[in-house]
Structure 1
Amino acid sequence: MTLYDWPRASAFGRVIPKNKIYEHAGANTGLKDLFVREVDQITWSHKLAPETVNLAATKQVAEIQVFRITARTATLDRDVLRAIDKAIPFPLIFEVAHGGRVRLAAAYKRPSEADSARWVVGDYFLGDWLPEDAPRAPLPVALNMGALYERLLEPLVAGQTARLIPGAASGFGEAPQASLTPSEAERPLSLEERIAQAEAIKAQTREVERITARLGRERQFNKRVAINAELRAAKRELERLTGAHPGTAVTND
């Protein structure tokens, strides 16, 4: 995982009052309390646009906004990120800073096919925590704004997949692929397919953990037998999703 050296021409540096987010996101009392507890400051730090990064806009990605959140806690609730995403009608990349460290976060965001005035926001992907003074890399090479957005999201998606799968490759292009047909195996997966795969792996991992917890609580032998069978089926499905050999993606019974 890396941090990016956002181009100087893209610097925006505008502090956003929380009440503006509340207003545009339709925040209720619970969400406002969450912002008070977890967020110190929100800065609209950079604006990646055709005029600032010299890349052509695409139909889905005209601009990419970079928001820096100075957090009061090391764990930032996803609802905070989602509220900001809801308030800003552009794809967002977050830098979350806390205690001298910073990490990237983002969800795949696209215009709704049913209503172009609405945005569809997926699950959030988080990068690793890095020191504030860690070296920053130039922006990824891309042909247009849409491709740049994909290049910025790819390491976050691959990183989460790698954390869920012991021994998974760290390179995005080498991430495990699940049960592809011969024609699918001949082409690289699109970003949307990678995200769908990562989300499916995450959900199935949670299902394995949930069943494992049930097994640990159960004392009756006949019920343990049934739960064990359920657990084996869940693990097989996880192995299918990860493309792993039996026993490598998850722990044994």
Structure 2
Amino acid sequence: MTLYDWPRAAAFGRVIPKNKIYEHTGANTALKDLFVREVDQIVWSHKLAPETVNLAATKQVAEIQVFRVTTRTGALDRDVLRAIDKAIPFPLIFEVVHGNQIKLMATYKRPSGADSARWVVGDYFESDWLSKDAPRAQLPVALDMGALYERLVEPLVAGQTARVAPGIAEAPQTAYIAAAFEETVSLAERIAQAEAIQRQAREVERIKARLSREKQFNKRVAINAELRAAKQELERLTSLGHGGNPGAAMPDV
């Protein structure tokens, strides 16, 4: 995963006070406490729009906003990003900064089919931490703003899926990304699968935690069977992601 060299013409550089986010989201005390503990500064750094990147707007993506969130700790609760996403009526790409490290985070944000004035915000996907001095790449080639948004989000989805499910090997994952760019599978479908993989990986970890706490032999046998079934389901989901054999063995997790 690389950082992007956002076009100079798209630079915006406006600091966003936290209380503005609170006002637009009706933040409760718990959410405000999260912002105070975890967020040092929020900067609206770039506006990717037809006039700044020379790409036509689409019905779903008129502009893409880039927000830089400087954190007080290495962890950032997803509710912080979700609040910012709810406050800004455009798709967002986050650059999360902590010390000398930076990573990209985003959810695939799109208008609701039931109400175009409302936005659907799903799971968040993220890159690995990189050095703030890491080389930056040019924006992906795209025909319009909607395609650019997909090109920015897709590597985050693919990369995180590979980290969550280590059974996905590097070569199949590369093929999976290539197939995605050929639009054999829609981004929405890939995200739905990635979210299913993440949910199942969390379920595997939940069962493993139960197993580690259980002392009675007969109950451990039952939990082990449940764990094997959960691993098999995770294997099935990851196999769908890269065209692998659903019956292939998956390493213990």
Q: TM-score, normalised by structure 2?
A: 0.91
Of the candidates 230, 236, 248, which is equivalent to residue 232 of structure 2? 236
The match for 2:114 is 114
Structure 1 vs Structure 2 CA RMSD: 1.9
| 1:165–1:249 contact (8 Å) kept in structure 2 | no
Shift in Å, 1:217 = 1.9
Code of the residue aligned with 2:219 in structure 1: it is: K
Partner of residue 52, structure 1: 52
Q: Quick one: structure 1 residues 93 and 171, their matched pair in 2 at CA, closer, same or farther if it must change by over 3 Å?
A: farther
- Give the deviation of 1:250 after TM superposition: 4.0
Whether the aligned pair in 2 keeps the contact of 1:158 and 1:170 (CA below 8 Å) is no
Match of 2:88 in 1: 88
Query: Normalising by the residue count of structure 1, what TM-score does the alignment of the two structures yield?
Result: 0.91
Q: Which contiguous aligned blocks of 4+ residues in structure 1 show a shift greater than 3 angstroms?
A: 170-173, 244-250
Unaligned runs of 5+ in 2: none
For residues 106 and 224 of structure 1, what CA distance do their matches in structure 2 show? 39
Quick one: distance in 2 between partners of 1:219 and 1:100?
A: 44
Corresponding residue to 1:198 among 166, 170, 194 = 194
**1:1-253 alignment to 2 at 5 Å?**
1-166=1-166, 167-169=168-170, 174-175=175-176, 188-243=184-239, 248-251=249-252
- SS of the aligned residue for 2:107 comes to strand
Question: Residue type matched to 2:194 in 1?
Answer: A
Give the deviation of 1:248 after TM superposition.
4.5
Question: Which consecutive unaligned segments of at least 5 residues does structure 1 have?
Answer: 177-185
Alpha-carbon distance between aligned partners in 1 of 2:172 and 2:86, rounded to the nearest angstrom? 31
Structure 1 stretch 212-221 or stretch 105-114: which is displaced more? Answer: 212-221
- Does the CA contact (< 8 Å) of 1:12 and 1:46 recur in 2? yes
Task: Indicate the percent of aligned positions where both proteins have the same amino acid.
Answer: 77
Q: 1:229 Cα deviation (Å)?
A: 1.6
> Structure 1, residues 143-180: CA drift from partner, whole Å, max 9, x if none?
0000000000011001101102225337865239xxxx
Q: Distance in 1 between matches of 2:47 and 2:216?
A: 59
**Paired residue secondary structure (2:123):** strand
CA deviations over 1:197-251 (Å, ceiling 9, x no partner): 1111111111111112212222222222221221111111111111166574340
Structure 1 pair 171/2, CA: closer, same or farther in 2 (3 Å)? Answer: farther
Q: Report the 3-state secondary structure (helix = DSSP H, G, I; strand = E; otherwise coil) of the residue aligned with 2:27.
A: coil
Q: Deviations over 1:107-157 (max 9, x none)?
A: 010011111111010100011111111100000000000000000001100
Whole-angstrom distance in 1 between the partners of 2:203 and 2:238: 14
Distance 2:220 2:105 in 1: 40
